[in-house]
Amino acid sequence: MKRLLVCLALSFAAAMPARADLLSLGALSAYLNGLTTAEGSFTQINADGTVATGDIYLHRPGRIRFDYEGGELIVIAGGQQVAIFDGRSNTPPEQYPLAQTPLNLILARNVDLAASGKVVGHAFDGIATRVTAQDPDRPEIGTIELVFTGDPIELRQWIITDSTGSQTTLVLGNMVQGARLSASLFNITQEIASRARD
């Protein structure tokens, strides 16, 4: 496990410029607002140290999909809801309002990181700019720490800390912007109906 984390850290650092500066909240907000569609791969490091990989599809505003390797787990945000589909279970997916998750901060129609009370941390660590944000109206739902590199600006990873303090890190890789993505990827109702037919 430690070896995998070291390899991830080294590959992350190798992909970054040798020197960068603190990126402004305005520039980061503009980048996120301009990020309409993207697809690629991800590596997820869970709070218990387990690691999962898969493919990610992003269609802002409001839509994201995580297809985990093996096909048993899918997470979809769409229609202002987040649904977790577990292929090992015969029960309906767990669903939560998107507004009650930290992901809503980057999936919002208009991202404004400079808005009062939204950013609780903004620093440059020598390699990347790290922004920790929360919903000022719902601080109890947790935070999301976004990690950006510059020249050009890219979102490299995020760390979600939930209400219990548990952290989940997601490292992005091979993200291709401007992808044409089918609306069905983010349709929770359609995914439920498809699974009922299988």
Q: pLDDT (tens digit, 9 = 90+) per residue, 45-70?
A: 999 999 999 999 999 999 999 999 98
What predicted TM-score, i.e. pTM, was given to this entire model?
Answer: 0.85
What are the tens digits of pLDDT across the range 156-179? Answer: 999 999 989 999 999 999 899 998
At residue 115, the pLDDT reads 87
How confident is the model over 81-98, as a mean pLDDT?
91
**Cα–Cα distance measured from residue 146 to residue 155, given in angstroms and rounded to the nearest whole number:** 7
Share of the chain above pLDDT 90, in %: 72
Whether the link from the prior residue into 136 is cis, omega within 30° of 0, is no
* Position 8 confidence tier, pLDDT thresholds 50, 70, 90: very low
Q: Which domains does the chain have, with CATH numbers?
A: 2-197 (2.50.20.10)
